Structure 1
Amino acid sequence: MYTRYLKLNLSNRQTAFLWGARKVGKSTYLKSLYPNSIYYDLLKTDLYIKYLKQPSKFREEILALDLAKLTFPIIVDEVQKVPALLDEIHWLIENSDSYFILCGSSSRKLRAYGTNLLGGRAIKYNFYPLIYPEIQSEFNLLKIFNNGLVPSHFISNNPRKLLKAYVEDYLTNEIRAEGLVRNITAFSRFIDSTAFSSGELLNYSNIARDCSIDAKTVKEYYQILVDTLVGYLVYPYQKKISREIISSHPKFYFFDVGVANSISQNRFDNIKGSEAGRALEHYVFTELQAYVNLNDLDHRINYWRTKTGLEVDFIISTITSQPLPIEVKISSNVHKTELKGIKSFMEEHQIDKGYLVCLEDTSRKIIWGNQQINILPIEEFLTKLWNHTIFKSYWGNIH
């Protein structure tokens, strides 16, 4: 079992939501953290049907519990399956000594039913696949690309079957079962297309043509993936200085690089080539996304690209601070020509520091004038990221 990075703070009997994609380890984490808690798993058919038919029974059962059992949070897993339970939980928070951890893979269905998510009475946490601090002692890029970081996939000796089942069972059948899409055949074609456009500017019209649906439906499908926590849309950095931004189109990344590679049927024998470069960029994004969220930061992750083709993979920024550019290269020997995009961004926005993440053996620093690009091997970058060195050295106290 891996020691997970997330620290829940439920002082003063605080109720919380814990959101995360399927199988990332939410249930295992909560059972380990609260072994004495009463646990309701709505994936169990009998519980699901009982509370779907009569949600008030849940309230009545909680009210009948001994006070000693209310010492610990009551855990409700897959809460989105029975949205009406939130009204009962809301009442219990207001009128009893109970408090809850509500676990799920999507708040979309809850919002669709008009549920108010407890009117702000619950704090929100997100859970992710395994992250660098959790696997540092067994870090292996090739394994990460091929297995992904969903815990059961990462430790598997046969991840291909598990990944295939995940895509079929969770990204297609589960979304159909939740009633989020009507045309499951078109959605399956859409899923196939997403892996090939991962990390690229989204052209909704082209994807719509390939899937035989309209562009509006494509946008809706992407939003479903975002709402069910299996993907992220990354928008362009909008602070315009002199160059014209190429478009307002977002990029899309799956929540897990292994899932994306499984859909596109990429299998890596070595860390070389353009597909490995895309996978490395994808992996760095997932670490940045997890770092920002797990540390409760207000930083945004964008990309930058101009009409002339200059590009930086990730721009980290806040509303008031200078942006931090981070470029990712698969190279084990970075040449100056590969610095053109990040250097142009830094000069245009008068930024004094940037990072280039790569596969070189040792770190180095390129300085011109009062500006510097820190070239870091991937593991050194991740170590500095999770040790807070990168953000603190740039912005000071990140909290």
Structure 2
Amino acid sequence: MIRRALEVSPVVVVLGARQTGKSTLVRWMPELGGRPYLTLDDLSIRAQAEADPEVLLERAPELVLDEVQRARDLLIAVKRAVDQDRPRRPGRFVLTGSANLLMIRRLGETLAGRAVYVRLWPFTQGELRGEGRTGRWGELLATPFSGWRDVITACDRVPVSWREAVLRGGFPVPALALADGEQRDVWFSGYEQTYVERDLPTLRAVENLADFRRLMQAACLRIGNLLNQTELGRDVGLSQPQVHRFLNVLEASYLALRLPAYAVNRTRRLIKAPKLYWCDPALALHLAGEAEPRGAHLENLVVLDLLAWRDTRSARAEILYWRTASGHEVDFVVETPDRLLPVEVKASRKAMPRDARNLEVFLEEYRDLAGGGLLLYSGNEVFPLTHRVLAAPWWMVL
């Protein structure tokens, strides 16, 4: 996605949660290897960016600028430099920074029409295996249902425990460098402290950090559930407007995410309650104070892979969930302009025909758009569960 953005936009902004590897990525991408990398964590560079940002931008025709939120007028200087270019040069500036509301607001106001935004998610399971890819969602959408089994079994993979995958998470350091659970706990404690004590004060949207911590814990305990802000506020002693504001902060920081409901009428999607998930299941476990993963954490693992896949596509795709008034629910619906792919997730080691009931209801409702349904479970066999639903191990698809 970054490569495509460099070809069309003068400014490429890489956003994402803290510690997802934004700085490392832009420093080591071959396409950016010939340009200077300037980080405002360097005091001398920050001093120049604050004193005379336009001179800083004259260091080279193309620049990578990291931690741009640290110099208030730097974005204005980038805007002027882009506007003075005739014709505009694509890929002239690559910007990264710790995501926060103030930075995002300034980017939107200053670089409107001049920038493409790329979100960097924590590592997918494929990336952790060294494959540099997301799950096989694109192949499944492009293949008739009768060919799904071949698509999934074409890969040669070793079975993985979903509990171990959740405990490992996708942040580069705990996922790749820390094999011990105690070490990961220490890392996540530092992550939480840095976010609360360094990032939140800059937002000026959180007046009481103790209230915010309680809200974070309660939200992590509710991953995979429908989001009821009034009920959530009642459980933690906060008003609904406070809960709404705190959730907006978490979402703008790329920590929490709200998954909208699928409906043919797009306006209804804005009205229905979303489902709540987290940017990393291991971080959610830590913040909730839970020792053992639940089935909702496996769902979280799957939705993160789906969202990472969506954000690598140039063609539009949406990731949603489906629920009826009578209680039928499908965990995820992948929507492209001409296809629907319903996905159900079960943490059990066995898949039974009754587990496909909600998928069958969905397929009957949208038979013109959905050719089949996929049930992911924690076993080892790929097999047809019904005539229209295929059961597959989650680790073979992700």
Structure 1: stretches of 5+ with no match in the other structure? 269-274, 383-399
Tell me the CA shift for residue 357 of structure 1: 0.7
Q: Answer yes or no: is the 8 Å Cα contact 1:354–1:374 preserved in 2.
A: yes
Partners of 2:95 and 2:228 in 1: CA distance: 36
Structure 2 length as normaliser, TM-score? Answer: 0.81
Tell me the CA shift for residue 28 of structure 1: 0.8
Q: Answer yes or no: is the 8 Å Cα contact 2:255–2:279 preserved in 1.
A: yes
Partners of 2:309 and 2:113 in 1: CA distance: 24
Partners of 1:202 and 1:99 in 2: CA distance: 41
**Residue 355 in structure 1 maps to residue 374 in structure 2:** yes
**Residue 249 in structure 1 maps to residue 244 in structure 2:** no
Structure 2: stretches of 5+ with no match in the other structure? 131-157
- 1:102 partner SS: strand
**Residue 186 in structure 1 maps to residue 211 in structure 2:** yes
**1:279-301: CA deviation from partner (whole Å, max 9, x where unpaired):** 11110000000000022341111
Residue of structure 1 equivalent to 2:154: none
Residue of structure 2 equivalent to 1:127: 120
Coordinate RMSD, CA, aligned: 2.7
Percent identity reads: 22
Partners of 1:84 and 1:252 in 2: CA distance: 36
Partners of 2:329 and 2:320 in 1: CA distance: 11
Structure 1 length as normaliser, TM-score? Answer: 0.81
Tell me the CA shift for residue 218 of structure 1: 0.8
Partners of 1:143 and 1:163 in 2: CA distance: 16
Residue of structure 2 equivalent to 1:291: 309
Q: Answer yes or no: is the 8 Å Cα contact 1:6–1:127 preserved in 2.
A: no
Tell me the CA shift for residue 212 of structure 1: 2.2
Partners of 1:24 and 1:216 in 2: CA distance: 30
**Please, which of 298, 312, 331 is the counterpart of residue 280 of structure 1?**
298
Tell me the CA shift for residue 111 of structure 1: 5.0
**1:40-72: CA deviation from partner (whole Å, max 9, x where unpaired):** 3234456546644x4xx1112333x3xxx42xx
Residue of structure 1 equivalent to 2:94: 101
Q: Answer yes or no: is the 8 Å Cα contact 2:384–2:391 preserved in 1.
A: yes
Q: Answer yes or no: is the 8 Å Cα contact 2:49–2:56 preserved in 1.
A: no
Where do residues 330-349 of structure 1 align in structure 2 (5 Å cutoff)? 330-349=347-366
Letter of the 1:262 counterpart: H
Partners of 2:239 and 2:46 in 1: CA distance: 35
- 1:267 partner SS: coil
- 2:19 partner SS: coil
**Please, which of 64, 75, 88 is the counterpart of residue 75 of structure 1?**
64
**1:298-337: CA deviation from partner (whole Å, max 9, x where unpaired):** 111111122332211001113x434221000012111122
Letter of the 1:353 counterpart: G
**Please, which of 365, 384, 390 is the counterpart of residue 384 of structure 2?**
365
Residues 230 and 44 of structure 1, relative CA distance in 2, 3 Å threshold: farther
Partners of 1:208 and 1:81 in 2: CA distance: 34
Tell me the CA shift for residue 194 of structure 1: 1.0
Residue of structure 2 equivalent to 1:177: 202
Partners of 2:324 and 2:94 in 1: CA distance: 45
Q: Answer yes or no: is the 8 Å Cα contact 1:172–1:187 preserved in 2.
A: no
Partners of 1:106 and 1:191 in 2: CA distance: 17
**Please, which of 229, 237, 243 is the counterpart of residue 204 of structure 1?**
229
Letter of the 1:324 counterpart: L
Q: Answer yes or no: is the 8 Å Cα contact 1:359–1:377 preserved in 2.
A: yes
